[in-house]
Amino acid sequence: MEKAMVRQLVQDNDRYNEKQIVVNGWIRSNRDQKSFGFISLNDGTHFDSIQVVYEKEFLSNFDEVASLGAGAAVTVRGIFVQTPQARQPFEIKAAEIILEGDSPKDYPIQPKRHTREFLRELAHLRPRTNLFSAVFRVRSLLTFAIHKFFQERGFIYLHSPIITANDAEGAGELFRVTTLDPKNPPIAEDGQVDYSADFFGKKTNLTVSGQLEAEVFALAFRNVYTFGPTFRAENSNTARHAAEFWMIEPEVAFADLQDNMRLAEEMMKFMISYILENAAEEMEFFNKFVDKGLKERLQNIVNAEFERITYTRAIEILKESKQKFEYPVEWGKDLQTEHERYLTEKAFNKPVFVTDYPKEIKAFYMRVNDDKKTAAAMDLLVPGVGEIIGGSQREERAEVLEKRMEEFNIEKEALWWYLDLRKYGGAKHAGFGLGFERAVMYITGVNNIRDVIPFPRTVNTCEF
RNA sequence: UCCUCAGUAGCUCAAUGGUAGAGCAAUCGGCUGUUAACCGAUAGGCUGUAGGUUCGAAUCCUACCUGGGGAGCCA
C-alpha cells in the first residue's frame, strides 16, 4: 500500500487510478448523510483539497467519522478513483479512516468566508485557509524564483550582516541591539550611556539595508545580490509597511542606471512569469476571489515594456493632468503617494520607472548627474502597490561622495571602508532594493502586507 | 504620529432613544452522491472599557482601548 500526497495524486493521477493508497490530512469540511458522507481533505501539499467518500457499510467507526468537524487530522486508507463526470476530478473511496487528532467544536475556522482582520488574530491557524495557503505557497515559490533568476545569471548570493554598527544610511529608524542592562547602563564621563562597554564596543542595531555591504561584494564579484530580513523601527501604520520585512538588493559593477533598470525589469518579468507558470491553482484563486483581472494584468506586464520617464518629465505630466492633488506639484519636491498613483495607474496604467530626481531629496550615495542638479536614481512604481523598487547608480567619484557626505552630515570616519571602495579600484556600479513583500502583494493582489508575512511584526504587534 | 470610520452571539452583519434579531458555525433529528450541501428544531448576549445625559441608551456626549481605511516615513 502506498502513502500518497495530494500533490502527487494531482500530477500523476493515471498512475494511481484504482490503486489502494493512504493519505493524511486535515478535514476542511465534512458532510454526512444517513449511510454515507463526504470529507474535503487537505494535506497541505496542494492548493485543492481531495474528496473522501465514506460509507456505513465499509466503516466500523462510521458514526465517529460522521461527527468529525473541521480541523481534525485523519489518516485515510482507500481506493483512488477518477470521477471525470463529477465536479471534482477524483476522490478516495475510504476503507478505513483513523482519527489522528480531533478538533473540538470551538475550532474558529469555519467553512465560510472570514475577514482578514479576524484571521490575523489567528496567525497560527490561518495557513489552513484557502487564501493563506495560496499566499504562502506563492511566497515560497517567489523566493525560489528570485534565487533562480540571479543564480542562472551568475550572481553571487551574499549574506549581508543582520547586526550592524552602521547607522549612517538614513533609511529609517533603527532597532537598537544591546546587552546592556536597561535599568542600570554604564555611564560615560559625558553623562551619556557608555556604548564602549556594550557587547560590540559600540552602538549597534539591526540592519535597515544590506546595500553598502553589497557594494563591497560587487566590487569583488561584479554581480551580486542579497536577500534577507530588514528591520525598520518606523511608527508606520499602513497596509504596506512592516517592522520586519525581506528585501532583495542586487548590486552590479561596471553598470549604469540604464543597466540597472534593464535588470529590474527583467527580474520583475521573470518573477511574474514563474508564478503564473508554477502556481496555476493559486493564481486562479486570487483572480477569482481577491482581484478580478489580476492574471490578465500580470500577463500584460510580462509582455509590455515598462515606461521610463525622468522626474522632470513626471512633474510636467502631473502639471498637465489638470488633476486636483492635495499636495502641490513642484520641481524639487518629492512625489507624494497620490502623484505616484496617478502616474502608474492613470497616466500609463503599467509599471513606470521614474529617474533622475533632484539630488537634495535622494540619498548621499546616489551618483550626481552632469547637470549637478539631479541624481541617477530610479524608483519603480506599479499600479496598486506604489513604490516597489528604489535604486540608483552609486557615486563612484571619491571627492564627490565625500562632499555629499558632508552635505548630509554623515560621519566619514565610520564609513572609512565604504570610501576605500572608491580609493582602490573604484568602478561605476549600480543596484536597487526590491521589497519582497510588496512583490508578493503585487503578484497575488492581496493588498495588506500583514497578509503576506507568516507572522507579521508591526507597531504594537508581535504576537506569535 | 496625524486624519477618518468602526467595535452587538464563535464568525459575518441587522436593530437610529422605547422588550436585542438573522445567516453561518455549534447541539439534536431528517435525507442514498454531497461539494460554502440541503430541510426541521434547540441553545447561544453585562452591545469594547469607564464615566455622563435621559423616565428610559446598542443608539446621544466625553475619555480610553482595539481594529480598518487614508496620510507622512519608505521597500
Q: Which strands make up the sheet holding A223-231, listed edge to edge? A: A156-157, A223-231, A244-253, A429-435, A386-393, A374-382, A352-358, A307-310
Cell numbers describing residue A385: 502597490
Residue nearest to nucleotide B25 (CA to C1'): A110
Q: How far is the CA of A237 from the C1' of B68 (A)?
A: 11
User: Parallel, antiparallel, or unpaired: how do β-strands A2-3 and A20-32 relate?
Assistant: parallel
Q: Closest residue to B67 by CA to C1' distance? A: A117
Query: Distance (Å, rounded) from C-alpha A452 to C-alpha A457?
Result: 12
Residue A21 near residue A4 (C-beta atoms within 8 A): yes
Which stretch of DSSP H or E encloses residue A252? strand A244-253
Query: If you compute the radius of gyration of chain A from its CA atoms, what whole number of angstroms results?
Result: 27
Nucleotide nearest to A435 (CA to C1'): B75
C1’ B26 / CA A104, Å: 10
Q: If 0-12 CB within 10 Å is exposed, 13-18 middle and 19+ buried, where does residue A88 land?
A: middle
Measure A443 CA to B38 C1' (Å): 38
Distance CA A116 to C1' B59 in A: 28
Helix (H, G, I), strand (E, B) or coil at A122: coil
**Phi first, then psi: what are they for A176, rounded to 5°?**
-70, 140
At A58 the pLDDT is 92
Distance B45 C1' – A108 CA (angstroms): 19
Its ipTM equals 0.90
**Mode of pairing for the β-strands spanning A163-164 and A176-177:** unpaired
Task: Report pLDDT for A320.
Answer: 92
Q: Which nucleotides of B are covered by protein (CB under 7 A)?
A: 1-2, 10-13, 24-28, 30-37, 66-75
Distance in angstroms, CA of A448 to C1' of B14? 28
Say how far A437 CA is from B36 C1', in Å. Answer: 30
Compute the distance between CA of residue A285 and CA of residue A436 in angstroms, rounded to an integer: 21
Which protein residue lies nearest to nucleotide B27, measured between its Cα and the C1' atom? A105
- Domains, chain A, with CATH or none: 2-101 (2.40.50.140), 128-172+208-451 (3.30.930.10)
Q: Are A387 and A381 in contact (CB under 8 A)?
A: yes
What distances in angstroms separate CA A338 from CA A54, A196, A332, A344, A440, one per listed residue?
56, 45, 17, 10, 22
Q: Determine the distance between A105 (CA) and B44 (C1') in angstroms.
A: 14
Nucleotide nearest to A169 (CA to C1'): B74
CB-based contact A388:A408 (threshold 8 Å): no
List the single protein residue with the shortest CA to C1' distance from B29: A34
Distance A113 CA to B13 C1' (A): 13
Residue A117, nucleotide of least CA–C1' distance: B67
Residue A298: all three cell numbers together: 500580470
Q: Tell me, in Å, how far CA of A119 is from C1' of B12?
A: 13
The C-alpha cell 554623515 sits at: A410
Nearest DNA or RNA nucleotide to A245 (CA to C1'): B75
What pLDDT shows up at residue A169? 59
A211 and A199 in contact (C-beta within 8 Å)? no
Query: What type of residue is A285?
Result: F
Checking each nucleotide's C1' against the CA of A326, the nearest proves to be B71
Residue–nucleotide distance: A36 CA to B33 C1' (Å): 9
What gap in Å lies between CA A448 and CA A440, rounded to an integer? 10
Phi, psi (5° rounding) for residue A96? -155, 135
The owner of cell 520586519 is: A244
Rounded distance in angstroms from the CA atom of residue A288 to the C1' atom of nucleotide B24: 22
Cell 494584468: give the residue.
Answer: A297
Q: Which three cell numbers stand for residue A23?
A: 493519505
* Cβ–Cβ < 8 Å for A166, A211: no
Q: What's residue A391's pLDDT?
A: 96
Paired sense of beta strands A244-253 and A223-231, if any: antiparallel
**C1' nearest to CA of A388: which nucleotide?**
B75
Q: How far apart are CA A251 and CA A169, in angstroms?
A: 16
Measure the CA–CA gap between A91 and A408, rounded to whole angstroms.
66
For chain A, list residues with pLDDT below 50: none
Can you say how many angstroms the Cα of residue A321 is from the centroid of all Cα atoms in its chain? Answer: 33
The answer to whether the Cα torsion of A436, A442, A448, A450 is positive or negative is negative
For residue A424, the tally of other CB atoms under 10 A from its CB is: 7
CA(A462)–C1'(B51) in Å? 32
